[in-house]
Structure 1
Amino acid sequence: MKNFKSIALALVAFVSFAVNAQSKKVDVNKSTINWVGKKVTGAHEGTITFKEGALVFKGKKVVNGNFTVDMTTINTTDLDGKGKTNLDGHLKSDDFFGVEKFPTATLVFKTIGEKGKGVYAVTADLTIKGKTEPIKFDLTVAGNTATTDLKVDRTKYGIQYGSGSFFDNLGDKTINDEFELKVKLVF
């Protein structure tokens, strides 16, 4: 009887959550991801686009989220012509994101804590090149928009090209292990 009560209570809690939770799909045409990759001699920047995603709300509070990024859309915005073509191609190659074999990256929220009105501390699983690692960031929600800035250590995903952590004598060809993402979600 005790087990039955526990199961019934869990079922009621699940149904209650499901009834009260509302999934809001990300508008992939209005949402943006801007990236910056730094090296000893400067930096490059660009964009990547979302394939799909959603934030889940219970009332006005974020309780979950999951997103898929189309890695084939990596686009350098600080270069033109041959330089742009070469960098875009290199970032899409196996040296970096290997988009032919791994055309998407995913982010799945695992825990969310409210830090203040509309600000959440998120721990999520980020999967790049088939490798999943935890990542922490703050998410700010206002109206139909959410924003965050993330720093991602590419070496955790097997992306070691030009990394001073793995190769000696790179000199001014050293590329920082971390790249930065500035994300704006519109839903």
Structure 2
Amino acid sequence: MKKNLLSILCVSVLTLSLFSCKEKAKEATTSEAETVAVVEAEATKYTVNTEASSIAWKGFKPTDEHFGTIGLKSGSISTTDGTITAGSFVIDMGSIVVLDIPADEKGNAKLVSHLSNDDFFDVEKFPTATFEITGVTESEGKTLLSGNLTLKEATNNVTFPVSTTTEGDTITLESETFTIDRTKWNVRYGSKSLFDNLGDKFINDDIELKVTLKATK
């Protein structure tokens, strides 16, 4: 009996250790809005292919998580000598898709509706969000993209690692997975840091994002 109990305890400790060691995506460096980069006269301009571009998102609760994608409405990228120097894109907040719940289940439509209403992104009032590039830097062998993200009338500058590849007339920009603190953009519903007495009903402030963007000349 004691041996069985000891085995159960060991398994529990090992399981807890594995969950504790699970690596969390790094939060994007966030600061006040900065001056938007100006498109240089000699720059090469690429127009975003909205059909081939998207932002993957993931949200977390104590008991589970939800994930999906959101699309882009328009955008452009400018490069000089193969390096991104400016650009902006418009995020279509009405294109939120949930992927962890089958599309034909009621829970899918319910979650999309919840994310779209004024609890979260208030899509009717704020149908779009924008990202405007403010600069690109190199640090520790990584390319860091900085830009002003405007969502629900709040603007903050965020910096996160990206990689770019160019093939013919197409440039592909892909970010590493990163997180942002949604409360900095007035998305406050269920935030444990803002509301008391939520118990285990809170929703994590961090939203995980990964940007994939394709654009052509």
Interval containing the TM-score (normalised by the shorter chain): 0.7 to 0.9
Of 151, 164, 169, 2:179 maps to 151
In the TM superposition, residue 61 of structure 1 has moved relative to its aligned partner by 0.7
Which of 133, 151, 157 is residue 109 of structure 1 equivalent to? Answer: 133
The residue type equivalent to 2:172 in the other structure is: T
1:53 maps to what in 2?
A: 75
Which one of 181, 205, 210 corresponds to residue 182 of structure 1?
210
Identity over aligned residues, as a percent? 40
Alpha-carbon distance, 1:115 to partner = 4.1
Matched with 2:198 is: 170
| TM-score, length of structure 1 as denominator length | 0.86
Q: Which has the higher contact order (CA 8 A, sep 6+)?
A: 2
C-alpha separation in 2, matches of 1:60 and 1:114: 14
Question: Which one has a larger percent strand, Structure 1 or Structure 2?
Answer: 1
- Alpha-carbon distance in 2 for matches of 1:135, 1:183: 13
Question: Using the alignment, how far apart are the partners of 2:52 and 2:135 within structure 1?
Answer: 26
Please state if 1:35 is matched with 2:60.
no
Q: Measure how far apart 1:152 and its partner are.
A: 1.6
Deviations 1:36-60 (A, max 9, x none): 0011111000110000111110021
Q: Secondary structure at the match of 1:172?
A: helix
CA RMSD of aligned residues (A): 1.8
Alignment-mate amino acid for residue 196 of structure 2: D
- TM-score by length of structure 2 reads 0.74
For the residue of structure 2 that corresponds to 1:155, the secondary structure is helix
Q: How many residues align?
A: 171
Structure 2 residue identity aligned to 1:96: F
Q: CA deviation at 1:31?
A: 1.1
Question: Which residue is equivalent to 1:91?
Answer: 115
Flag the 1:172–1:116 CA change in 2: closer, same or farther, 3 A.
closer
Q: Which runs of 5 or more residues in structure 1 are unaligned?
A: 1-13
**Deviation string for 1:104-151 (max 9, x for gaps)?**
00001112113488x521221100112111111112101221101331
Q: Which runs of 4+ in 1 moved over 2 A?
A: 114-117
CA distance in 2 between counterparts of 1:127 and 1:49 reads: 16
**In structure 2, do the counterparts of structure 1 residues 150 and 106 end up closer, same or farther at CA, with 3 Å as the change threshold?**
farther
**Deviations 1:139-181 (CA, angstroms, capped at 9, x unpaired):** 2101221101331211011111110001122122110101011
